[in-house]
Structure 1
């Protein structure tokens, strides 16, 4: 039968009890050590003068030297992401989200580890960063959608770099969204994106909360162009149903603001696109397979 090996702190506790006058039977009853082991400790401690309360207890090294127990060395774990530490640091500095980093490592480097490893490393690298507080906006099902534009990926076509935008419409209650990469923010593009978004959702909400951008303000006037168009799902009176927010007040449409930010940080980075058609194909897959299936904090 293998005898138990005691830790240094256990020997120190036993010595404290002995210096207080506790018997071996009393100490054994507490469960610190068996009476046979306590007899050995008491004999050694008595011989070395450790039981005198007026004297300091021996240090750990002295106890180890007498009873032959070496302290545990701290366990050091090397993260499976250590080879990518600097790359991950750069991605985090660029604002790339953890899920996107994990997906890129799997896609581009064959990383087989779990997302928890990415979260641990990201938490370590962001240990000194704070978290901004937000206010939850409450909506009933079918009540409203929020609409906004965000900067899209740069597309290089025939050697020419083209700037794009991401149109995002988010259902306020469910957080499901429609997203599309477009070449501009004109009124025509704004209206066409609304038409395709309503076709994507298969219906329209009671109201549309839009940004106070020029295309949105002009678009409310230009909706008359679409009222006679063969699109039965388009609202008959979109002018009365659209609600522009005040300038410099993004919190009033914070749901779509978060959706645009999520698309910019989760979808755009670390991807390659042949053209806008390919970019929108990947964007639709991302919306249905990743953005639309995630567990949202408020839902």
Structure 2
């Protein structure tokens, strides 16, 4: 079960492809497909609820404390140990800490916000910035890298800059569109201050002047994730992590930013080729659809 959870999290939360997951976990792509289709191993179904003779009388009290915690500061919420101590001291519980810990872990897990995987029609992109340490001209420093992902085909583009400012955002788009040889119909963004001057009461965005000019030039429709909801653009969030792990480990060292970006562009081209070879016609057609949309 633990492997199922890790595989599904890698795909649905981190945005990794089936091929990359198979490589990372050392399993076949058929196994990955099965794990993505089922939330638990097929055939494993519990037919009766779990019985906890020593704990069942106290579960409603634990549920109440956990529910109250949702409105409390994170650092002042019950741990499993604190719940066990309160049950023992205030409620006469004489069971073990382990069964309390297991129950609390399961309740916290099922109480987390869950997300349904999104479908990705062709011609729509997601963009974001990530950070990583690099050595440029012999000086170790932080690189801010622009990432643009085409989720339908899994094609990507990454370019690094000394700062994630307006110039970097605009330049990243220009180079990405040149790399793909096409412009997407829309791009999904977060509410970065370089792009969004402010969010209006009706939920619409007041764009910055230079960003608005770029959108007008390329005739792109801008879309935005909800504030604080990174999962809305999970594909590019996954790409940021993928690029950092695969293109920037060990810490890259280049004489200048131009050389570093030439390397990143080559890695994106190589990744795109690997995806096409791994999935043959289906992904190739998806890429064509992305670029033709």
Q: Normalization by structure 1: what TM-score?
A: 0.48
**Which of 1 and 2 has greater Rg?**
1
Higher share in strand: 2
Q: Relative contact order, CA 8 A, sep 6+: which one is greater? A: 2
